């Protein structure tokens, strides 16, 4: 039976595990064995993992795969992807190979501005607040000089501070809306440190502003925090070719394929039920690279989906067209990424992934990640509009099903060959495996 515990965080790792397995598992020794199986045999590496978060008991592994043959702005890349879902890496690789012979991917970073906000409450005359803001603005910059010095020396820093009136939404609610350039750093700690200093300066200076009444001086700071919505940290990736060059086989012409493909994208642009699944497929590619490079995929997800809703309706992140015999497929997406700081200098596999990508800058990584998302979407739509999504997906899923049934290596070899010409389903694999075992073949 579950029970509460006091001082859990102060226990040693061994005692934490003992309490967990004794409290929650019927076979405590088996549970403990599984937990220890995933420890790194290198004690230094394991200690590093233990110190990433609190209350660590073991490591949770995801496969790290690679998708080769990505030609991006004339440069070849092999892209690392950390993901557990079947067929994602294969689909990305297939899309990369398809476009390798058709000019590859073209990308550009449109803007790199990141946002942070100080949220505060003020009860008083807005004109007085505006006057106070203009007066205190230089001090906001000077009081953060020690924080911004290093970032400014590299060409980044605070680029703008605005006072925003949000009282139409919440009575008495205002913001300091701040724009930042953080270069190769994701910059969360930098941004939050600046914002907290802004809040302190703003509140303190209000106490001596002679136009404020006593009530108006009592500015209430609610919170100071960066935003993961970064519509001005934007990257574009696209592919294009002549319509006739889209044809790979006799099953569908390039013209017919282009027509169906554009229709599929148009549907995702106007139908939220389709758009969510459409964009989820894009994020299969994006999240996998973001995770492999030690970035925050949850922040990326939140910002991307907010961007997909920016016009008041959730819509496709990708777009397609056919004009004058030319097929074009593109994505514009907000990606606030970093290649310095955080896990990039700590996690050995993150360092390896970044080296695999030729040590990209944050801007270069934005472009690579956008390409991964576009490639993933192309592969999915290509399957959906031709053979159907399940044919390729279930063949990739075959090994997972065989592992669920405990198939040995010989059985896997026979059934992999069998399902090259048969439809894969959970039931079909079960029947084929039972038949194989019953015949002793």
Domain ranges of the chain: 8-50, 64-108+234-386, 114-226, 393-439
Known catalytic membership, residue 85: yes
Which pLDDT score, from 0 to 100, does residue 67 have? 98
- Cα separation of 331 and 234, whole Å? 10
What phi and psi values does residue 217 have, to the nearest 5 degrees?
-70, -20
Instruction: Give CA separation, 151 vs 141, 189, 362, in Å.
Output: 13, 12, 14
**Average predicted confidence (pLDDT) for the chain:** 93
The predicted model gives 297-324 an average pLDDT of 98
75 assigned to active site? no
Catalytic residue (one of 97, 280, 305, 363): 280
The question of whether 166 is a catalytic residue gets the answer: no
User: Which pLDDT tens digit goes with each residue over 407-417?
Assistant: 888 888 888 88
Tokens of 337: 């990424």
**From 184, 238, 296, 364, active-site residue:** 296
Rounded Cα–Cα distance for residues 422 and 275 (Å)? 31
Q: List the one residue out of 285, 253, 246, 238 whose CA is nearest residue 110.
A: 238
169 is catalytic: no
Predicted TM-score of the model (pTM): 0.88
* Length of the chain as a residue count: 441
Fold of 64-108+234-386: 3.90.770
- Give me the phi and psi of 302, to 5 degrees please: -60, -45
How sure is the predictor about 396, in pLDDT bands with cuts at 50, 70 and 90? Answer: low
Confidence at residue 198, expressed as pLDDT on a 0 to 100 scale: 98
* Burial of 190: CB neighbours in 10 Å, binned 0-12, 13-18, 19+: buried
Alpha-carbon distance of 131 to 133, in angstroms, equals 5
Q: Could you tell me which CATH class the domain 114-226 is placed in?
A: alpha beta
The mean pLDDT of 1-18, rounded to a whole number, is 90
Least confident of 115-124, 166-175, 355-364, 427-436: 427-436
In sequence order, the β-bridge partners of residue 180 are: 114, 158
In this prediction, residue 282 carries a pLDDT of 98
For 372-393, what is the mean pLDDT? 82
The residue annotated as part of the active site, out of 85, 108, 205, 269, is 85
386: tokens are 């031709």
Q: How confident is the model at residue 197 (pLDDT cuts 50, 70, 90)?
A: very high
* Other beta carbons less than 10 A from residue 74's beta carbon: 9
pLDDT grade for 441, boundaries at 50, 70 and 90: low
pLDDT attached to residue 394: 59
| pLDDT at residue 392 greater than cutoff 90 | no
What are φ and ψ of residue 333, in 5° steps? Answer: -145, 140
260-296 residue pLDDT tens: 999 999 999 999 999 999 999 999 999 999 999 999 9
Cα–chain center distance at 422: 36
Section 68-76 average pLDDT: 98
- Identify the pLDDT of residue 435: 83
């Amino acid at each position: 039976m579950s029970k509460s515990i006091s001082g859990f965080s102060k226990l040693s790792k061994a005692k934490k595990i003992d309490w967990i397995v004794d409290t929650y598992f019927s076979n405590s020794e088996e549970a403990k064995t599984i937990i220890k199986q995933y420890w790194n045999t290198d004690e230094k590496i394991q200690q590093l993992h233990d110190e990433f978060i609190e209350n660590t008991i073991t490591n949770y592994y995801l496969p790290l795969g690679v998708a080769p043959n990505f030609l991006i702005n004339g440069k070849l890349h092999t892209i690392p992807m950390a993901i557990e879902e079947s067929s994602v890496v294969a689909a990305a690789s297939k899309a990369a190979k398809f476009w390798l012979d058709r000019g590859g991917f073209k990308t550009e970073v449109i803007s790199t501005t990141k946002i942070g906000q100080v949220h505060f409450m003020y009860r008083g005359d807005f004109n007085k607040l505006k006057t106070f803001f203009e007066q205190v603005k230089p001090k906001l910059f000077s009081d953060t000089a020690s924080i911004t010095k290093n970032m400014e020396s590299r060409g980044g820093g605070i680029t703008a501070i605005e006072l925003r009136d949000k009282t139409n939404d919440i009575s008495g609610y205002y913001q300091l809306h701040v724009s930042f350039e953080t270069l190769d750093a994701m910059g969360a700690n930098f941004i939050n440190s600046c914002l907290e200093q802004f809040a302190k300066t703003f509140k303190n200076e209000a106490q001596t502003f002679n136009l404020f009444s006593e009530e108006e001086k009592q500015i209430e700071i609610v919170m100071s925090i960066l935003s993961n919505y970064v519509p001005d940290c934007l990257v574009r990736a696209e592919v294009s070719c002549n319509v006739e060059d889209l044809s790979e086989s006799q099953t569908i012409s390039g013209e017919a394929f282009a027509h169906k493909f554009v229709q599929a994208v148009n549907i995702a642009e106007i139908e939220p039920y389709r758009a969510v699944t459409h964009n989820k497929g894009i994020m299969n590619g994006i999240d996998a690279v973001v995770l492999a490079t030690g970035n925050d995929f949850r922040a990326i997800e939140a910002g991307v989906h907010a961007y997909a809703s920016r016009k008041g309706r959730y819509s496709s992140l990708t777009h397609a067209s056919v004009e004058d015999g030319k097929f074009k497929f593109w994505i514009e997406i907000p990606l606030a990424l970093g290649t310095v700081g955080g896990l990039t200098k700590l996690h050995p596999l993150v360092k390896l992934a970044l080296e695999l990508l030729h040590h990209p800058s944050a801007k270069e990584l934005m472009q690579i990640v956008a390409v991964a998302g576009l490639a993933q979407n192309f592969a999915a739509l290509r399957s959906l509009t031709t053979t159907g999504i399940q044919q390729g997906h279930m063949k990739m899923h075959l090994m997972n099903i065989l592992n669920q049934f405990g198939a040995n290596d010989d059985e896997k070899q026979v059934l992999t060959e069998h399902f090259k010409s048969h439809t894969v389903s959970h039931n079909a694999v079960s029947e084929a495996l039972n038949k194989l075992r019953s015949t002793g073949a």
